[in-house]
Amino acid sequence: MTELRAYQQAAVEAVYEHLRTRDDNPAVVLPTAAGKSWVIAQLVKDAVLRWHGRVLVLAHVKELLEQNADKIRRLCPEVPIGIYSAGLKRRETDQPAIVAGIQSVYKRACELDAFDLVIVDEAHLIPPDGEGMYRTFLAEAKVVNPHLRVIGLTATPFRLASGPICTPEGIFNHICYEVGVRELIRDGYLCPLVTKAGANKADFGRLHVRGGEFVADEVELLMDDDRLVAEACAEIVAYTHDRRSVLVFAAGVRHGRHVARVLAEMSGREVGFLDGQTPAVERAELIARFRGEPDAADLLGQYAKPLKYLVNVNVLTTGFDAPNIDCVAILRPTMSPGLYYQMVGRGFRLHPSKQNCLVLDFGGNALRHGPVDDLRIPNGVGSGDGKAPAKECSECHAIIAAGYARCPECGFEFPPPERQKHDAMASNAGVLSDQVTDTEYEVFDLRYRVHMKRYAAPDAPKTMRVDYYLNEWTYISEWICFEHTGYARQKAEQWWRRRSHDPVPDTAEQAVEIAEAGGVAWTEKIVVRSIAGEKYDRIVGYTLGPKPKPIEELVDDLEDVPF
């Protein structure tokens, strides 16, 4: 017999305590992959066998219906279960426990007869007001049985447009139990998340918001840029060479097909693609191959190799279960913290083939919504884009409080915040709160140039910008402030003395000239630090080659070489 985990049993007991002591409806908050279906199964078992009641379990996709029915059968095979779903081609109405698709039953509450308990999976989908399928069904179900109680389960207890799902006047009134992502990762019930720093940038500042979400056509037009797609795919291939199952979320059908094509060209592997129009048989084949199922076959019934990469557009979020996913790449921005959470959550499940799940966020979502274990909850349409608690000076790279208008280290004045830019990069920012990740990279190439900040006066201090290329497409930059004073100049002097026998330059032009002439040690590797909640990654370590001779000696050596 299957036994519930401690937190699952605690959730069940919290529901019973709520039903005993209050006359309203409770909600249970469990992270994605925490096993909501087992909690539902235990509630069904107790309601039918202990209290001789009748239970209805509602969900909105057939995958959830199948998962819930399977867990009920496994936990309590003695309870007769009916399924009512057009998608599953079953309309069973007489059993004490029924699992139903809301689209199939929302006008048939009387036909299904009285229930004592209705359990709603993905309860955040019930709208706060108006008609809607859930509200229509529950209103009629309460006519049949005025004493009906409703229990909701969700991983995201809020809605994009209206905030928390539990309100005094709503269907759900109180969160009776909640457990967090970090706690379950700590206790070994969820897969740890890791990230890699990246350097691809996209500007989301011009996107418009409609109905609380970015306008879809604008998002696809922005993300379906040849350079962005090429750079993102290059990063994905580079970061996933030792990964087995990479799930990619694209911004639209055209963008998704573009990503799949470039990803296949760069990786040399077959890449699957799914959208809402993919035929059911083809979809089932691709998912079976992506899951690595041993009997996966193609459309002709022949053995088909497992798929490493699967690109999808708005289909593999809620209800999709592939525990082997060890990388999630998000190539789209969203204003919905719930959708962001659902995408990241595809990698939460444990599997023997993986030690962790790599998250690559190219949509600026981590900064927009915060860590997945501490999401910034929207209070209304268009909110949820709170400021990060820290920021980095683009001139001297000092990490300072977000409220500064002028950098206290080098004096750089930050531009007005009326049009905020977000990094569309594979970054650790905000995947888990307080998470710090240091990642070492080999340096593919180095480039030096003089940098003048935008809108600066002609006599303003310049900096030397150093671009560390990790591959042909991806680079990480730092700014060395030779022309500044104070701490920024001290850092520049330390940086230079570690790499060169030449005197510390007074100007950025001098520094670039010496560096390009070979007077600075080659950087073999860099260590990049990513901190959740901070917008920028930092270079915190270097592996340097030997210091070259001073420039004068290098010039003398060249003069002695016969040509």
Higher pLDDT: 8 or 1? It is 8
Most distant CA pair in the chain, distance: 101
Q: Name the average pLDDT for the chain.
A: 84
pLDDT of residue 304: 76
Closest C-alpha to 58, from 141, 121, 126, 148: 121
Give the tokens for residue 127: 């709208």
Is the pLDDT at 422 greater than 50, yes or no?
no
Is the pLDDT at 537 greater than 80, yes or no?
no
3-state secondary structure of 502: coil
pLDDT of residue 486: 86
**Residue 304: CB partners within 8 Å, gap ≥ 6?**
285, 289, 296, 297, 298
The mean pLDDT value for 231-249 works out to: 93
Q: Are 519 and 531 in contact (CB under 8 A)?
A: no
User: Helices 36-45 and 62-75 meet at what angle, rounded to 10?
Assistant: 50
Bridge partners of 246, per DSSP, are 309, 327
pLDDT of residue 384: 36
Q: What pairing do the DSSP bridges indicate for beta strands 163-164 and 463-469? A: unpaired
Q: Give the number of other CB atoms < 10 A from CB of residue 393.
A: 22
3-state secondary structure of 436: strand
What would the pLDDT profile of 145-190 be if each residue is shown by its tens digit? 999 999 999 998 887 666 788 888 889 999 999 998 889 988 999 9
Residue 522 parent element (H or E): none
Asked whether the CA dihedral 362, 439, 414, 493 is positive or negative, the reply is negative
Closest C-alpha to 342, from 64, 150, 539: 64
Q: Give the number of other CB atoms < 10 A from CB of residue 379.
A: 12
Lowest mean pLDDT among 37-41, 129-133, 391-395, 470-474: 391-395
Report how far residue 482's alpha carbon sits from residue 438's, in angstroms, rounded to the nearest whole number: 27
What would the pLDDT profile of 486-501 be if each residue is shown by its tens digit? 888 999 999 999 999 9
pLDDT of residue 418: 39
Q: Are 235 and 267 in contact (CB under 8 A)?
A: no
Give backbone dihedrals phi and psi of 262, rounded to 5 degrees, phi first.
-70, -40
Asked whether the CA dihedral 127, 67, 328, 297 is positive or negative, the reply is negative
Domains and CATH numbers, the chain: 6-179 (3.40.50.300), 193-385 (3.40.50.300), 436-554 (no CATH)
Report how far residue 191's alpha carbon sits from residue 182's, in angstroms, rounded to the nearest whole number: 10
Higher pLDDT: 529 or 561? It is 529
The mean pLDDT value for 85-108 works out to: 91
Report how far residue 79's alpha carbon sits from residue 45's, in angstroms, rounded to the nearest whole number: 7
Is the pLDDT at 416 greater than 60, yes or no?
no
Q: Give the number of other CB atoms < 10 A from CB of residue 187.
A: 12
Is the pLDDT at 314 greater than 50, yes or no?
yes
Q: Are 473 and 457 in contact (CB under 8 A)?
A: no
Q: Give the number of other CB atoms < 10 A from CB of residue 142.
A: 16
Question: 218 burial class (0-12, 13-18, 19+ CB within 10 angstroms)?
Answer: middle
Report how far residue 319's alpha carbon sits from residue 314's, in angstroms, rounded to the nearest whole number: 12
Q: Which residues of 518-535 are buried (b: 16+ CB within 10 A; e: fewer)?
A: ebbbebeebebbbbbbbb
Confidence tier at 389 by pLDDT (50, 70, 90): very low
The mean pLDDT value for 545-558 works out to: 76
Q: Give the number of other CB atoms < 10 A from CB of residue 500.
A: 21
What would the pLDDT profile of 333-387 be if each residue is shown by its tens digit? 998 888 888 999 999 999 999 999 999 988 888 878 877 877 766 554 333 333 3
Give the tokens for residue 184: 């379950």
What would the pLDDT profile of 397-407 be if each residue is shown by its tens digit? 444 445 455 55
Is the pLDDT at 294 greater than 80, yes or no?
no
Report how far residue 295's alpha carbon sits from residue 298's, in angstroms, rounded to the nearest whole number: 10
Closest C-alpha to 58, from 155, 135, 147: 135
CA 518 vs. chain centroid, Å, equals 42
| pTM of this prediction exceeds 0.75 | no
